[in-house]
Chains A and B, each alone.
Chain A
Amino acid sequence: MKKFIGVVSGVVVLSLIVVMVALASGGPPGGGFYTGQTLQNVGSASANVVVTAYDSATSATYSRNYTVGVGSSISFFSGDITGLPSGFQGSAVVSSDQPLKAIVNVTNRQSGTYGISGGTAAAQYRGVDSANTGTTLSFPLAKQAFGPKTSAFYIQNAGSANATFSATFLMGTSLTDPAPVSYPYASGTLAPGQMAVIVPADASVPAGRIGSLTVTSAQPMAGTVLEYETTTAPAKILQGTIGFTSADYDGRILFPVVKKQLGGRSTGLQVQNVTGGSVDVTMVYYGASGACAGLVYTETVRTVAASASTTYLDSALLPSGCLASGVATATGNIAGVVNESFLPCTGACVQRATIYSAFPANSATTKLVAPVFKEDFGSKRTGLSIQNVGNATATASVVFQVGATTYTYNNVSIPVNSSFLLLDMTNTTVYPAANWAGGAMPNGSLAAVTVTADQPIIGIANEAPTGALVQDNINYEAFNVAP
């Protein structure tokens, strides 16, 4: 039995909606998923954080206090909450007297008493700030037994009163189906903070369908989507991201990482029309490296119906071996996600898949934070790709906060529309010692990262296993914050 996540609001208390579900939720072959949360203090003073776990079966609550230094981060699992009984299943609320950013890590990889033998699935998504909820949620990508994949949507009442929500799946039989069909679903009543999970089958969507989902309610909602394979036991891959609200909409959205057969990996870009009428979408790719370096490609304009989405997968315009960024502009507001995997993945290939949200151009700022950065920590390595979306070359500095120790890497220069990659930071050939202040960050570090630039930037953090560890890739969108 599991419940939901409450929302606490107040003048100085910031609550984050983070899913913290259960020890050993579900059994084989597809269960065993658990979550870990990382919080970063992006305020100007030390944060007093209270994590409160709510038992779904009783009215019992359990709390643990943390103090998080400026720019620092902490991680916790359900088992870290003092007094939590064995077998606890429930949810959590995180409150703080300073602004926080949160990353939720979902996996079924076995670790101690968590997970399931043979599980390698993993995903990350951003915790939803209670200030960033909305009465409309847009999910550009939904799947119902489309190939081996299905999407599950976790919708939470983030308001202060009971509410229902309406969900409309707009689904076709292919990526380019010109006549997708609408499948409605009406929820039951959700109390404040309560969460419901829906799958397309709940709206009678037939198997073999792909499309989009739009959720509306009279109360503000928060949403997360997890995409997974239903045919593997235990689960091997998982992809997660959050639903878009109006704060995430823009007529111009940015895709920092687009691939076509780059090291076997390709990306599918979904652009959803989040308006009530048709819009025309123009996608432009800017070659970054590989076979398309320095080149610009423009797709034919596509007309997208209200609430529908369109997909750009392995564009015929791009050469194989291409790493690019993408910019979609439209005659109305749009939102987008990027789905990345080995394509095809046959024979000895072990699939690893990720998904990330496109960035509305109006969200870019000159400062971003990434709460989780692993420098060969726990056999994991993070790459943080920072893209300059301004109109002049950007100069940036990067602060890695490891516990109470700070390591600063300076003199990062990023040309317009280009990206700079922070990966394997102990490589002095790529990251010269002279650019470090306070010495280079050592291997084995778990850092919270803050990047400050003189141009607007955006970022994607990707984590992959190293050595013999087998795990799905995971990524999340770095948070843009006010300078």
Chain B
Amino acid sequence: MFEILRRCFLVYRKFIYLMLCVMVVLASSCVSQPPQPTSSPLESPLPAVSAPANSPIPTPVGAVKFQIDRPVKIGATVVTGQGPAGVPISIVNVTDMGSELGVGVIGADSRFSITVQPLLGSTRIGLGLGDLGGTNLNAEDFNADAYKGSEALVVPMVGYFQDTALVQP
């Protein structure tokens, strides 16, 4: 008897496995499901869609970080620092929504010295890219972290600054 059962199992085992699988699936579908969230009044009625993937920004070899020399003092009329050679830059007053204080081009020695209007207290100055027109440079060329100063900052509606510094007493 046992041998007959064993032979039957061997002959029909694939079918038995299949039936077991079907039973498991059916059983799982019959189990009560947890409460599903209802639609939300503040939620899009449509499913979220994927955002376009960001292209990885390659890290340039030998990149020179944009950096304003510290400290930056009240009343100063010159702002110095470093950055990639040949890049036009501007120094702006971030705090007053971005008024331009001075412009210049980073020298071949990767240093800059820009004459600015006397700096005011309680303000943060920012170093941004200048007018790249007439150069073979693109703003995107300087997106890599290797170019960001220690206080790089984006301020919506004011702009993105490769470095910023608080004006000190």
**A residues apposed to B, CB below 8 Å:** 1-4, 19, 21-22, 25-31, 33, 35, 56-57, 89, 106, 108, 118, 120-121, 152, 154, 185-188, 194-199, 201-202, 226, 228, 230, 232-233, 235-236, 238, 257, 259, 261-263, 265, 289-291, 320-321, 323, 340, 348-350, 352, 354, 381, 383, 385, 419, 421, 423-424, 460, 462, 464-470, 473, 475
Contacts and interface: CB of A to CB of B under 8 A. Distances in A.
Contacts of B153: 199, 201, 230
Given A25-B157, A232-B54, A263-B40, 12 more contacts: A2-B97, A106-B157, A152-B158, A197-B97, A199-B124, A238-B156, A290-B38, A321-B36, A323-B37, A340-B42, A354-B42, A419-B41
A291 B3 CA distance: 56
| Contact count band on B | 35 or more
Contacts of A25: 98, 157-159
A32 B63 CA distance: 24
B46 A30 contact: no
23 contacts: A1-B100, A2-B157, A3-B96, A57-B99, A57-B100, A108-B156, A120-B51, A194-B96, A197-B157, A201-B124, A201-B166, A202-B124, A230-B154, A235-B156, A238-B156, A259-B42, A263-B40, A265-B42, A265-B43, A354-B42, A460-B42, A462-B42, A469-B49
Interface in B73-131: 92, 94-100, 120-124, 128-129
B135 interface: no
B50 A348 contact: yes
Nearest to A187: B122
B48 A467 contact: no
Nearest to A188: B122
A462 B45 CA distance: 11
B35 interface: yes
Interface of B: 35-46, 48-52, 54, 57, 92, 94-100, 120-124, 128-129, 139-140, 143, 151, 153-160, 166
Contacts of B92: 1
A451 to B, nearest CB: 15
A349 B48 contact: yes
Contacts of B49: 350, 465, 468-470
A290 B35 contact: yes
